[in-house]
Amino acid sequence: MSKLKPGVASEDWYTLIDPATSLPSPPPAFSTSSTTSGASARDDEEPELVGPTDVGPPPPPASSGDANLGSIRLKLAYMEVRMLPSNSYDKLLELLLDDDLGTVVALSRIAKEYDEVSAMLVQIFAATNQLPRLLNALTAYEISQTGNPDIIFRGNTGVTKAVDYFMKRVGKAYLHKTLYAHIAEIFELKKAVEVDESKIEKGGDVKANMRKLKLLCTDMLQSIFSSLEDMP
């Protein structure tokens, strides 16, 4: 973790430790040594990016009663962002919130990183209570630039990414409140609900699994149907 650099992804195996188990000192994370031209990297050299094909197999599984719960392969990266005082962005905010939203439309047209730009625009317009203006402007532009109605809103564009981020922003809390308990129950109970005869385990009962699946789905649907007041 200490070798991470801003904007550079690093992939490696990390050990999961049971927080309820007291250990004298946490064991080091599993890692693989990167090499350059066949020579091992020295301690004073930064390792190369460890890609999916170079990470190697996972560490051995934990023994019974061990605090080591297993290992997970993660690809980590972080960014350093320097923030100025809020008044430093006043002119930029005024430009983005212009009456015709021309700057916003231009950004959505020329930006290469649709995800990042769209997420930032949604956050800005949400903070100023003008999110409908943003979505309406981007939607109108998308329609005006699409000659074939069969493919409208089907590509990776500024408006599709903005709507995706908007739905995640407003829908996350609703989904968590409505469905989280049911999903957590499924993971906790670990009931067999496979209904594909070609995939069911030996000795499994398709009809019994179907009944369990119907009960789980019925409970989830009831929660959805009764959540009208909570729906964004």
pLDDT digit string (tens) for 163-197?
899 988 888 889 999 999 998 888 887 777 788 87
Q: Who wins on pLDDT, 93 or 32?
A: 93
* 159 neighbors 142 (Cβ within 8 angstroms): yes
Average pLDDT over residues 203-218: 86
pLDDT the model gives residue 70? 73
Q: Amino acid identity of 36?
A: T
pLDDT the model gives residue 195? 80
Q: 111, 113, 104, 156: which is closest to 133 by C-alpha?
A: 104
Place of tokens 């991470």: 4
Looking at the chain, the domain(s) classified CATH 1.10.506.10 span 86-164
Q: Residue 216 and residue 195: Cα distance in Å, rounded?
A: 14
Q: Which of the residue ranges 49-63, 76-90, 106-120 would you say has the lowest mean pLDDT?
A: 49-63
Q: Which of the residue ranges 126-135, 148-157, 207-216 would you say has the lowest mean pLDDT?
A: 148-157
CB-side neighbour CA atoms (13 Å) of 185: 12
Prediction pTM value: 0.54
Q: Who wins on pLDDT, 137 or 59?
A: 137
Which element (helix H / strand E) includes 36? strand 35-36
| Helix locations, 4-82, DSSP H | none
pLDDT the model gives residue 109? 82
Average pLDDT over residues 218-223: 94
Determine phi and psi for 78, rounding to 5 degrees.
-140, 165
User: Residue 18 pLDDT more than 70?
Assistant: no
**Coil vs helix vs strand at 6:** strand
Q: 159, 176, 167: which is closest to 230 by C-alpha?
A: 176
Place of tokens 């699946």: 213
Confidence of residue 56 (pLDDT cuts 50, 70, 90): low
Q: Who wins on pLDDT, 161 or 44?
A: 161
Angle at which helices 102-110 and 131-145 cross, to 10°: 60
CB-side neighbour CA atoms (13 Å) of 88: 4
pLDDT the model gives residue 43? 42
Average pLDDT over residues 101-110: 87
User: Residue 226 pLDDT more than 90?
Assistant: yes
Any idea what the Cα angle at residue 135 is, between residues 130 and 139, rounded to 5°?
A: 150
Helix, strand and coil percent figures for the chain, each rounded to 5: 45, 10, 45
pLDDT the model gives residue 38? 36
CATH of region 86-164: 1.10.506.10
